[in-house]
């Protein structure tokens, strides 16, 4: 029983760590690709839903919560497109891959001066 639990822990932990690694990778790639509009303020926020193929290629990216600012919304979609594909998805344990076939990106700038 202890053995079974230890294995379950190891697997779950490995999956969680791999997932966290992938999340950080996506976050960094998108932050690098996101050219903040000069008019952006920290009041603006947009949520994008993205779908990936098992290969990490982008199937779709669409705004599910608009900032109300066309320039800002376009900049976040461009950021996702520029950062894609996310080929590292293939390196995740199978159990962890499925959760990243579809997920949300919450663009919520906190470091703008205005």
Which positions touch another protein (CB under 8 A)? 2, 5-6, 8-9, 12-13, 15-16, 19, 23, 26-27, 30-40, 47, 69-71, 74-79, 81-82, 96, 98-100, 102-111, 113
Query: Residue 49: helix, strand or coil by DSSP?
Result: strand
Find the shortest distance in angstroms from Cβ 8 to another protein.
Answer: 6
- Of 32 and 55, the one with the shorter C-beta distance to another protein is 32
Which residues lie closer than 8 Å to 99 by C-beta, 6 or more apart? 19
Torsion of CA 96, 99, 104, 55, to 10 degrees: 80
Find the shortest distance in angstroms from Cβ 90 to another protein.
Answer: 18
Find the shortest distance in angstroms from Cβ 96 to another protein.
Answer: 8
Find the shortest distance in angstroms from Cβ 51 to another protein.
Answer: 11
Residue 46 phi, psi dihedral angles, 5° rounding: -140, 145
- Of 56 and 79, the one with the shorter C-beta distance to another protein is 79
Residues 8, 47 contacting (CB under 8 angstroms): no
Helix (H) or strand (E) holding 97: helix 94-97
CA atoms within 13 A on the CB side of 74: 5
- Of 66 and 109, the one with the shorter C-beta distance to another protein is 109
- Of 81 and 91, the one with the shorter C-beta distance to another protein is 81
């Amino acid at each position: 029983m202890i053995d079974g639990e230890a294995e379950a822990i190891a697997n779950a932990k490995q999956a969680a760590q791999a997932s966290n690694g992938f999340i950080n990778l996506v976050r960094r790639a998108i932050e690098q690709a996101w050219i903040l509009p000069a008019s952006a303020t920290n009041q603006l926020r947009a949520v994008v839903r993205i779908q990936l193929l098992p290969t990490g290629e982008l199937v779709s990216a669409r705004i599910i919560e608009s900032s109300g600012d066309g320039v800002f919304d376009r900049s976040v979609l461009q950021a996702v497109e520029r950062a894609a594909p996310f080929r590292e998805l293939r390196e995740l344990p199978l159990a962890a891959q499925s959760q990243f076939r579809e997920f949300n990106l919450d663009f919520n700038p906190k470091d703008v001066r205005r």
